[in-house]
Amino acid sequence: MAEPVLRVRALAKQFGGLAAVAGVSLALRPGEVQAVIGPNGAGKTTLINMLSGDLRPSAGRVELDGRDITGFAPERIARLGVGRSYQKTNIFGDFTAFENCRLAAQARHAPARLLLHPALRHAALNEAAERALATVGLAARGDAIAATLSHGEQRQLEIAMTLATAPRVLLLDEPLAGMGAEESQRMVDLIRRLAETHAVLLVEHDMDAVFSLAAILTVMVNGRVLASGAPADIRDNPAVQEAYLGTAEAAA
Amino acid sequence: MQPPSWPVRIALLAGALGLALFPLVAAPFYLQLVAKIMILAVFAMSLDLLVGYTGLVSLGHAAFFGIGAYTLMLLSPEYQAANFWLSLLAAVAVSAAAALVIGALVLRTSGVYFIMVTLAFGQMLFYYATGSKRLGGSDGAYIYVKPDAGILGWTPVDLGSRVQFYYLALAAMLATYLLLRVVLRSLFGHAIRGIRANAHRMRALGFPVFRYRLAAFVLAGALAGGAGYLSAAQYGYVSPDLFGWQQSGSVLMMVILGGMGTLFGPILGAFVLVLLQDFLGDLTKHWLLPMGLFIILAVLLLPQGLGGLVRMPRRAAAEPEPEAADG
């Protein structure tokens, strides 16, 4: 089995007296989809925020290719090849979809002639942006102002921007949030395709999507890992059924 | 991300042409007034880079204007002319260096705190200049001889001539406008607009936001220093007021009144504000009252500033069509 590209060891985040995340460990390999599931408030987004550098961990370690990146600033982690998308769509609403991706591609660009090179005439960046839009199925929407896109399209754009930064690891925070059935299916197909070339860590509520996509599931409850393993094992795990799946079904 | 639309470009060209021909008809007083306005327009454009494009509302931008002005004063020998090119270069360099140091400190704050801290730095310099004997204290100091722009016996511009100084100010304004246009359509320019729109997302994408902001702050400080230098050269006089919050506030007003994030708006704002002040000042000594009313009305009725008047028709017309490529 390939060496993990992203390894998390006993990661913890304390907010005052509240242990939002406590002792979470996982290892993500290239070409693998892993999912973190759990009820609201389980600490899933806090976990992703620590991996992306948005939050500084209270304890534990994050390693990228064996290198300790714990507590690095988000821009540094992004440039090392960890891209993230947000649960709440976080795009540049006033810019076109193309410019959103072009800007994202620029993030990894070496700053040669930064002040003089016309941004829109940079062929490599334009190509990277077009490619990212095409990958998520927004090729025809490049000229649309991002804020005017439909919710589903904005979710796609969110992913496209992350892709345009050419990451090796993708952290996707609820990519299916608020999507209709058809849009969800397209997004699931997209994530499956992305997994061929990226290591993907997914936080998601949609159980069908999670079980069809992920090779390994980590179930979090109250900041701790309740169980971790293959989808079939997780499904049969009585503790998980009681803590999470049961309540989810009851709510549905 | 739009470059100026065609109506704006034509208006700018016509404006530049009009300003170039103005000395043929103008009385000396107005020549001097318009030269002063064009210098303030450089100052206002430099602030627009921060306020309108990087999203940094500074209330202490006069600090760099003052530093540029005082640099010329300090470099001018008492009864001799300073070398124009060297002292201008020094004024820009000193302002840029000051902006680097001040920026590295103030950019650690954001929002209201940023406004307060920039204000504090401006006032600090104001009080320093007020108290310093070397700088002339609260009375300010004179520059008795105008800088000499001669290179090896050839003098491209005589700063003592009103008309030639006018053209120097016009050239400075046009050069600043073109320089900032190049910067704004560059990779850097797009990045700072991204930072203004959503700094958090820019960091998540991998942009070192602090360094970009600092670079913008330094560039704006350097240009403001150049404007301050020209202002000191025009009047041959510097005073602590150049650093003061009134000066910072009035240039911010030019940017807002003219339309932030347009670059040509601040030029317009500088003209309207100074001419109005001159016009109202002639009518009544209570000119601040109608001036205040005008500004309140302008801000209420023209949220995009005066520049928005020129841009609005294009917005509506451009809606059905995709965005035009940068020209």
Q: What is the pLDDT of residues B18-56, one digit of tens each?
A: 999 999 998 999 999 999 999 999 999 999 999 999 999
List of chain A residues with pLDDT < 70: 1, 110-112, 244-252
| Dihedral over Cα of B168, B169, B175, B179: its sign | positive
Please calculate the CA angle B180-B24-B281 and round it to the nearest 5 degrees. Answer: 75
Provide the mean pLDDT of chain B: 91
Contact A118 B188 (CB under 8 A): no
Chain A contact for B191 (CB, 8 A cutoff): yes
Burial (CB < 10 A; 0-12, 13-18, 19+), residue A45, is buried
More confident residue, B123 or B9: B123
Please tell me the predicted confidence (pLDDT) of residue B155: 86
pLDDT at B313 over 70: no
Which chain A residues contact residue B202 at CB under 8 A? Answer: 75, 103, 107
Contact B1 A95 (CB under 8 A): yes
**Letter for the amino acid at A135?**
T
Yes or no: say if B325 and B16 are a contact pair by the CB < 8 Å rule.
Answer: no
For B41, B55, B100, B108, B166, the CA distances from B209, given in Å and listed in that order, are: 28, 12, 15, 11, 39
ipTM field: 0.90
- DSSP conformation class of A97: H
For B36, B255, B277, B295, the CA distances from B270, given in Å and listed in that order, are: 10, 8, 11, 13
Beta bridge partners of A6: A28, A64
Separation CA A58–CA A28 (nearest Å): 21
Please tell me the predicted confidence (pLDDT) of residue B291: 86
Which chain B residues contact residue A48 at CB under 8 A? Answer: none
Contact B187 A106 (CB under 8 A): yes
Please tell me the predicted confidence (pLDDT) of residue B322: 39
Collapsing DSSP states into helix, strand and coil, what is residue B298?
A: helix
pLDDT band per the 50, 70, 90 thresholds, residue B314: very low
Least confident of B1-15, B123-137, B254-268: B1-15
Structure token pair of residue A232: 């079939």
Yes or no: say if A138 and A191 are a contact pair by the CB < 8 Å rule.
Answer: no
Distance from CA of A190 to the nearest CA of B (A): 20
pLDDT in tens, B221-245: 999 999 999 999 999 999 999 999 9
Report how far Cα A156 is from the mean position of its chain's Cα atoms.
12
Which chain B residues contact residue A78 at CB under 8 A? Answer: 203-206
pLDDT at B317 over 90: no
pLDDT in tens, B100-111: 999 999 999 988
Contact A119 B198 (CB under 8 A): no
Collapsing DSSP states into helix, strand and coil, what is residue A182?
A: helix
Helix, strand, coil percentages (3-state) for chain A, rounded to 5, are 40, 25, 35
Which chain A residues contact residue B209 at CB under 8 A? Answer: 75
Collapsing DSSP states into helix, strand and coil, what is residue A12?
A: strand
Minimal Cβ distance to A78: which of B182, B206, B323: B206
Helix segments in chain A, DSSP class H? 44-52, 74-79, 97-106, 123-136, 151-164, 181-195, 207-213, 231-236, 238-240, 246-251
pLDDT band per the 50, 70, 90 thresholds, residue B1: low
Chain A contact for B182 (CB, 8 A cutoff): yes
The domains of chain A, with CATH numbers, are: 1-81+168-252 (3.40.50.300), 91-166 (no CATH)
- DSSP conformation class of A82: E
- DSSP conformation class of A3: P
Please tell me the predicted confidence (pLDDT) of residue B161: 92
Chain B residue with minimum CA distance to A122: B187
Please tell me the predicted confidence (pLDDT) of residue B311: 60
Question: Do strands A199-203 and A33-37 pair parallel, antiparallel, or not at all (unpaired)?
Answer: parallel
Distance between the two ends of chain B, CA-based, in angstroms? 12
Distance from CA of A42 to the nearest CA of B (A): 23
